[in-house]
Amino acid sequence: MAVVSTPATLERAVPVMDNAEVLRIRNDFPVLNQLVNGQPLVYLDSGATSQNPVSVIEAEQEFYEQRNAAVHRGAHHLAVEATEVFEDARQTIADFIGADYAETIWTSNATEGLNLLSYSLSNAGLWAAQGRGDQRLKDLALNPGDEIVVTEMEHHANLIPWQELAFRTGATLRYIPIDDEGSLRMDQAAAVIGPRTKVLAFTHASNVLGVINPVKDLTALGRAAGALVVLDACQSAPHLPLDVKDLGVDFAVFSGHKMLAPTGIGVLYGRQELLDILPPFLTGGSMITTVTMDRAEYLPAPQRFEAGTQRISQAVAMAAAANYLTETGLDRIHRWEAELGQRMVAGLESIPGIRVLGPAAGKERIGLAAFDVEGVHAHDVGQFLDSRGIAVRVGHHCAQPLHRRLGLTATTRASAYLYNTTDDVDRFLEAVAGVRAYFRA
């Protein structure tokens, strides 16, 4: 999914991408060079899952052909090489987000990373009550009367784990509301985030509204309250330069499959001083120092949170994806997707009977557009577009409370990435313009 800049941002001296370059980029993605229902594929569902360039596919294949072995467990040649490329991949991802090596934890996806964190915080209370681990765990433990704060626009992955954490600990879950345009009510955020707030978790960019949240402003409120700040970067890390240290967050998560990498791989970033004292989520081999029949002692991060055989080939491929994005230039990608996103929203707003969620054209938003077609169900819209070779997402996009707040049950969403052209957007808009007539709405 793409990110749209403000006009001031667009004036930066960033080398401009154009359709000719994007068409060359597109040739790196084999899946895009096909016909769907007899027409060239227009893939506008990267907000759900992006496609993979040849370099990423080859990186994973090369691992299996040349280096396949268990990491951290053998002294033979293949095991050593596998461990080296696995840990090199970790360093690549750490550099990609401005983190340190030991602060980068491999997960299956962002959802696992958020569950890992919520369960570790649950266990912090158990360990503290038993006098186990670092004394600082008492400060991380949640108890009745404590509060967890999210926003009304969260993806279920950044909502349900916190609901369950509140249930397990007796804490209270609160949320920052949105206005009718989909922006956070920052005037109410300061009232919601207060001295009882122990965790503040929010998305960097909404996968439905397209709004980009003021991370530093929210982080400052969390810091003032003494809360842990958790960032869902799934819709930002793939599309614009991300520096977790500069943003000042304590934790962040993102998924590989949204940034040109395979499925089954994701990342949890956490400040090392926190990761090293938090109780582990999964336990078993590879994350221990000493084991007796009565108890175990655990390694520091990152191994502390990586029990069992890891996602080795996927990690190597995710590093290749990060390199592809870095070499292309995330600033350049950001600017190109800004153009596509504005073109998409402005075009939709010009079509009668279309309601676009989130900021209007000309206002900052990420390069996606979720919309409602008057009189036509989102699933029918999606099938109509698919019949014309255009792939979009339909449904509630794992954000039911947000849709309910806006009076909807489902929407259609188009999301662009670095391999989309202006022609892709125009084909999409032309097709959407014919939806209501086709269904006689």
Cα–Cα distance measured from residue 420 to residue 61, given in angstroms and rounded to the nearest whole number: 26
Cα–Cα distance measured from residue 168 to residue 191, given in angstroms and rounded to the nearest whole number: 25
Choosing from 398, 401, 408, 422, the catalytic residue is 398
Counting Cβ atoms within 10 Å, is residue 440 exposed (0-12), middle (13-18) or buried (19+)?
exposed
Radius of gyration of the chain, Cα coordinates, nearest whole angstrom: 22
Strand ranges (DSSP E) for 159-245?
172-176, 197-203, 228-232
Question: What is the sign of the dihedral through the CA atoms of 280, 283, 288 and 292?
Answer: positive
Which tokens go with 400? Answer: 């039911």
Nearest residue to 150 (alpha-carbon basis) of 141, 142, 159: 159
Side-chain-side CA neighbours of residue 263 (13 Å): 3
Residue 389 dihedral angles phi and psi, to the nearest 5°: 80, 15
Nearest residue to 262 (alpha-carbon basis) of 312, 192, 193, 188: 312
Cα–Cα distance measured from residue 222 to residue 243, given in angstroms and rounded to the nearest whole number: 18
Question: What is the sign of the dihedral through the CA atoms of 149, 152, 158 and 163?
Answer: positive
Annotation marks residue 234 as catalytic = no
Q: What is 71-137 written as a DSSP string?
A: TTS--SHHHHHHHHHHHHHHHHHHHHHT--GGGEEEESSHHHHHHHHHHHHHHHHHHHHTT-S-TTH
Burial 143-174 (b: 16+ CB within 10 A, else e): eeebbbbbbbbbbbbbbbbbeebbebbebebb
The one-character DSSP state at 399 is -
Cα–Cα distance measured from residue 322 to residue 397, given in angstroms and rounded to the nearest whole number: 25
Residue with tokens 């895009």: 32
Catalytic residues: 398
